[in-house]
Amino acid sequence: MTLIEAINRASEKLISAGISNARLDAEVLFSHIFVRDRAWIITHRNDALDEARLPLFEAAVNRRAHREPLQYITGRQEFWGLDFNVTPDVLIPRPETELVVESALKIIRPAGRAVVVVDLCTGSGCIAVSLAKESDTVRIFATDTSERALAVAKGNAQNNKVSDRIRFLEGDLFGPMVELDLQGRVDLIVSNPPYVRSGDVPALQPEVRDFEPQLALTAGPEGTEIQERIIDAAPGFLRQGGSLIMEMGQGQSEPLIGIVKDTCKYKIPEILQDLAGIERVIIARKK
């Protein structure tokens, strides 16, 4: 069997399983198993296949055909131009979350001093690691309730050589912050919290519904329960003029703006749209 024949057969199987990017996924899996980049695949498409690795490739294709996310099979995902390890213990980093990083850097870079950042629900650590990679003046405290997620995040910080600027803490939202005496000392709070309504879970794509950690996805019946807790507690930790930058789901901007206003502790919040035109990030500055 030639290389191209193996990829074609894998692509056909993924198409039959309803995978939208079947050809691309087949090539990515081939690159992963055979440790070759896609450019090499193009120039060696008619080469005879290394039969010893074929069962591994077929097993990976079978996993994808059962709708397991490509990132969990390969164990990696690119985010903010960086390489992140991912496991089923963490949410797979999405491109839209880069808007949180971009917005945070607009605050961090002009500060001209050391900036204290708290990253809630850090998961894979993609936000914290990206911010630390972009600025050597940040001091980041990243929290998560999952010990396994924190292990992944710590590994990503080490791999990207920013461990010295991030402290990972296990606990619920701001819980670990209290004993560190950070009240009123934080410049910036960032978060991509769970925001899927529990009733919407059955309608999610199989890759998300059946494989990604529910703890990182669902917030409750309304979908805004975790965000509301963050909005209520954040002013106690933010400096005067400090900011909360938080990702949100489609259709959540109106209720979240109302929650922010009801606290009477923030200025009028700003809403940012992602590349698809969906209102994706809310920025609230403490009065």
Return d(Cα 123, Cα 103) in angstroms, integer: 19
Closest CA to 226 of 201, 191, 199, 202: 191
> pTM (2 decimals)?
0.94
- CB atoms under 10 Å from CB of 7, counted, come to 20
Chain segment 120-179, per-residue pLDDT in tens: 999 999 999 999 999 999 999 999 999 999 999 999 999 999 999 999 999 999 999 888
Chain segment 222-244, per-residue pLDDT in tens: 999 999 999 999 999 999 999 99
Return d(Cα 99, Cα 103) in angstroms, integer: 6
Question: CA 265 → CA 28, 196, 248, distances in Å?
Answer: 48, 26, 20
The strand pairing partners of 142, in sequence order, are 119, 168
- For the chain, helix, strand, coil in percent to 5 are 45, 20, 30
Chain segment 36-77, per-residue pLDDT in tens: 888 888 888 888 888 888 999 999 999 999 999 999 999 999
What is the CATH number assigned to the segment(s) 76-285?
A: 3.40.50.150
Closest CA to 256 of 193, 175, 177, 171: 193
Q: What is the mean pLDDT of the chain?
A: 95
pLDDT at res. 245: 98
Q: Which residue has the tokens 């949410």?
A: 91
Helices (H) and strands (E) counted in the chain, each on its own, are: 13, 11
